[in-house]
Amino acid sequence: MIQLESIHKTFPSGRGFVNALKDVSFVVEKGSATAVVGKSGSGKSTLLNCIGGLERPDKGSIACFGRDILALSAKALSTFQRQSVGFIFQHGNLLSYLTVSENIAFPLTLNGIAGNPKTERVKMLLERIGLSAAAKALPHELSGGEIQRVSAARSLAHSPRMLLADEPTASLDTDTGKNLVDLMFEIGREQGCTMIISTHDPEIWGLADKTIYLRDGEKLQEEP
Amino acid sequence: MAFNYFTFWIRTAALFLFRSGRSTLALSLMVMVAVATLIFLSALAMGVNDTMILNSVGLYGGHISGIALPSAIQPQRLQVNGTTAILKRTVFPGALACGNRNQRVNLIGVDPFAEKKYTAIWKKTIDGRYLRNNENAVFLSQTLAEGLAVKVGSMLRFSSEISDTPVELVVSGIYQTGIDFFDRGLAFCPHTAIPHHTDTWLAAVFVQEGYDPDTIIAEYRSTLPAGLEFKSWKELMPDLVQLIELNYLSMSIVMVLVFGVVSVGIACAFVIFILKNMREYGIMKAMGVTSPEMTLLILGEVVLMNLLACGIGILAGVLAVYLAGQSGIDLSGFTSHNRYFVVSGVIFPRLTPYSLVIPPALAIFFSMLSAVWPTVLVARKKAADILRIV
């Protein structure tokens, strides 16, 4: 279970401080999928960053699977991130100097998985995303959809307990986006992964177990 | 940190470098050129020192001078491991006369064959020729020749301070070195030309390359009777020693200055190189890569790039030294009035461990130094900040 309580986050800007998140609280059940919906600037990305430990809220608490991640040391937080979190970014954010298979293998290596298990895992994921033939390709040789599929495979390679996807379909056309969402949910659900996805995409709302609406950093509504 | 993690990060650093080919090449080129240039410059400095020493000891004096050695000590006794030749010289103070002109002189009795083989004063002949064994001839400086109003073939009379019997000598050749010691009051003749006996003789000891004259002097002191006086060229020419030390110092300053300046360029390039990859580092941090691992990755990139660039730079520097060493660099036009280049102004650059090690070591040091700021920047910055900015 992921539990957020009264999260506040402000950023300094040229016009003073911007309240990115204001008193946001909700609970995500283990193994469920939650869609975070809101306009641009509503605080979706900041919220995901706070849950993933990339951003530290000014106030509030975040407990992930029983651990208060705000109380973790830098080293423990890194260990938590590399073991328990998978990130999918809006533009894929693949490591541009690594090939497709090296990108997917990266979190496995970080978690000490080597040799045959790593090779087999990468091979299986490449087959699942339909990019076995592009294993040795570099990111700049891939299309936007392919990049996002590799990003999804990379984020789930080490079987994290939590997948955080920040508008994964935003830069994709409808069909490509749908394929990615299907793939993401398919692998995520198989692995029992808790998914939190920020999106504008109704396709994702439909597949999610819960939807949280944000506006100007505040939680407007939660369904169901 | 486990060993496999270390190799993983170094391998990742190598992939980063290899796959950002043009940036790596541009940076490597800068380091490579600096290393090659400094290797060549330091080899050139060594070559200049070598030429100065060779000219100074090779003109006449040798690496070691044995002063006022008793006749009982034969030259063969000075032949030890590391010596190439022992030249015996006898000094006859006296006067040379021609007609009503005469000049005070120290006439040096020499073995012309050996002198021609091991010394270079014969190369300074400006008229006539050098001495031959067993002839009653004299080889004198232009100043003396002018003072006596003689030319090649003229007959001179030598009156020694140690004998009342004058000796007649024919002028075989006239020389000019440009060094006062040789050009004023000194003349040479074969040992056999002067029948007088002297109690002492002078030794010029020539030493093989790589042997230290001081070590050989120490051996003389331990094996020969006490009280014999030997001096190495370093004692006899402290000005040359200073000049060589000054040359080393100048080269070291040049090296540090060159790399100081180059490091500013390298630092800027490294900052750009590292910041160019900022997004990658942000992604890695988001995946749980720790700051020490990130530091290892970035420093791994810097070190690997430097090792590659230094390796090529060393090869290029060695090649340049080899090519220049084939025929030497003729600086005679700039050294003709310098006593330390009296025989030859041709410089043969020479590599030493110092010239091979210091430039790459400086390159790595300055590159690491220039990588500190961007590394600290990346290590301290939060993943979210990096991903938001880039």
Min CA distance, A224 vs chain B (Å)?
30
Residue with structure tokens 């080129």?
Answer: B29
Q: What are phi and psi of A96, to 5 degrees?
A: -70, -20
Enter the pTM of the model: 0.73
How confident is the model over A144-188, as pLDDT tens digits? 888 988 998 999 899 899 999 988 888 778 888 888 888 888 888
Crossing angle for the helix pair B291-327 and B278-286, to the nearest 10 degrees: 140
Q: How far apart are CA A124 and CA A90, in angstroms?
A: 24
Residue B384 contacts A where some CB pair is shorter than 8 Å: yes
Judged by CB atoms closer than 8 Å, whether chains meet at B387 and A93 is answered as: yes
Domain that holds residue A85: 2-223
Is the CB of residue A35 less than 8 Å from the CB of residue A209? Answer: no
For residue B225, the 8-state DSSP code is P
pLDDT of A72 > 60? The answer is yes
Please tell me the least confidently modeled range out of A22-26, B181-185, B273-277: B273-277
Find, in chain B, the residue whose alpha carbon is nearest to that of A95.
B280
Q: How far apart are CA B152 and CA B174, in angstroms?
A: 7
Question: ipTM of the predicted structure?
Answer: 0.90
How confident is the model at residue B173, as a pLDDT? 95
Q: Token pair of A41, please?
A: 């600037």
How confident is the model over B78-103, as pLDDT tens digits? 999 999 999 999 999 999 998 889 89
Instruction: Please tell me the total count of domains within chain A.
Output: 1
How confident is the model at residue B1, as a pLDDT? 46
Contacts of residue A49 in chain B, CB cutoff 8 Å?
Answer: 384
Residue B289 contacts A where some CB pair is shorter than 8 Å: yes
Listed in order, strand segments (DSSP E) in chain B are 64-70, 83-98, 101-110, 125-128, 137-141, 155-160, 167-175, 186-190, 200-207, 229-232, 329-330, 346-347
Judged by CB atoms closer than 8 Å, whether chains meet at B384 and A49 is answered as: yes
How confident is the model over B121-171, as pLDDT tens digits? 888 899 999 999 989 999 999 999 999 999 999 999 998 877 778 889 999
Judged by CB atoms closer than 8 Å, whether chains meet at B19 and A138 is answered as: yes
Q: Token pair of B93, please?
A: 């103070």
Contacts of residue B288 in chain A, CB cutoff 8 Å?
Answer: 78-83, 85, 107, 110
Cα–Cα nearest to A152, from A88, A85, A84: A88
Cα–Cα nearest to B97, from B150, B164, B139, B172: B150
Residue with structure tokens 């090690």?
Answer: B357
Q: How far apart are CA A164 and CA A155, in angstroms?
A: 9
Judged by CB atoms closer than 8 Å, whether chains meet at A82 and B287 is answered as: yes
Least CB-CB distance to A110: which of B279, B287, B384? B287
pLDDT of B5 > 80? The answer is no
Q: How far apart are CA A151 and CA B94, in angstroms?
A: 100
How confident is the model at residue B3, as a pLDDT? 43
Min CA distance, A199 vs chain B (Å)?
18
Does residue B170 sit in helix, strand or coil? strand
CATH of the domain at A157: 3.40.50.300
More confident residue, A129 or B5: A129
Residue B1 contacts A where some CB pair is shorter than 8 Å: no
pLDDT of B30 > 50? The answer is yes
Chain A, residues 28-67, CB within 8 A of chain B, namely 49, 52, 54-55
How confident is the model at residue B129, as a pLDDT? 94
Least CB-CB distance to A114: which of B4, B277, B290? B4
Q: How far apart are CA B83 and CA B63, in angstroms?
A: 9
Percent of chain A with pLDDT over 70: 100
- Average pLDDT on B49-63 reads 84
Contacts of residue A107 in chain B, CB cutoff 8 Å?
Answer: 287-288
